Amino acid sequence: MASRVVLLLSHAREPFVTERVAEELRLRGARPYRLDTDRLFEEGTFGASLAAEDPGTVWVRGERVRPDAIWLWRAWPRIEAKGMAAAEKETVNREAHALFFGALALLEGLWVDAPERVHAAENKLLQLRLARECGLRIPDTRFTSDPDAVRALFEAHAGRVVCKLHAPLDYGMRGGRAFPTRRLRPKDLTQLDALRRGPMIFQEEIPKALELRVAWAGGAAWTGALDGKACGADWRFSQAGSWKPHVLDRATKANLNNLMRRLGLRQGCLDLIVTPDGETVFLEVNPTGEWGMLEAELGLPIAASIAETLLREGDEP
């Protein structure tokens, strides 16, 4: 029996996570095929074909690609288009984006996870609503361009409010262009009219005993914890110390399982807070969130769980 082929969609700047998944696939007799999407149009050719006798074929460097499973980790197709005017560069990259995601729609293997599911699940308001319906506590939240709504939230929570963007400026965990979650200060209330030109998310600040990152893979929940007192408003920009292993309580694990099923996701990274009173609060889920530090520092078998998920025939999230 031929070994299963698994397409790994990654990027050239990712040296650890993708290779760990590839290694675990090889150990299970599968053949990983890595495709760095940021170099897709720099190294060889990429295309798709359809015809009366061709139900849809994806071509990479002149070869047919027909994987049994596809792992969507990083999908950043881009053409540098050096020397082009800005408008022309925008057109070229719009077409590259359309080709890339159009071609992916022709692939019939098992997805972890399909682009349309990832896109839908990135809606943070939807995440919060579903988390609430699944029995998880969520922060009091406003995603708004209304300064008065923010002032009312600030007053309701005695000035303990944080603000953040819906989407990241940078996809790295410590990228220089990332916008950190930060506390809203009293003096910021006088500058809220700027929201009319750019809405943001505002939430009650949850007191922290622990800050958790849960790497979810096919129903397995591998969890790391940071000391909440050292995390500040955003652990990515703090001296929070080392990750410690953590085991979720049974009720929280069951609630997260229901949430991930409703979002249609087989993988993702969930951010939670454990309060000093021991209550667990859901913040958000990133469908393609970073978990490399948990495997590297704690030895958690996240890559192995992802490999096993990719090789499950007929698996449903």
What pLDDT is attached to residue 45?
85
Q: How far apart are the first and last CA of the chain?
A: 26
Cα(289)–Cα(305) distance, rounded to whole angstroms? 15
Cα(54)–Cα(225) distance, rounded to whole angstroms? 50
pTM of the model: 0.89
Cα-based torsion angle of the residue sequence 19, 25, 28, 29 in order, rounded to the nearest 10 degrees: -100
What pLDDT is attached to residue 53?
87
What pLDDT is attached to residue 171?
45
Per the structure block, which two tokens stand in for 137?
Answer: 């506590």
Domains of the chain: 5-112 (3.40.50), 115-139+207-301 (3.30.470.20), 140-205 (3.30.1490.20)
Could you tell me if 20 and 83 are in contact, meaning their C-beta atoms sit under 8 angstroms apart? Answer: no
One-letter amino acid identity for 294? L
Per the structure block, which two tokens stand in for 197?
Answer: 């030109």
- Three-state secondary-structure class, residue 316: coil
The series of mean pLDDT values per 10 residues for the chain, 317 residues long, is 88 91 98 92 86 89 93 85 81 90 94 96 97 98 92 92 74 52 83 86 94 96 89 65 93 98 98 97 96 96 98 72
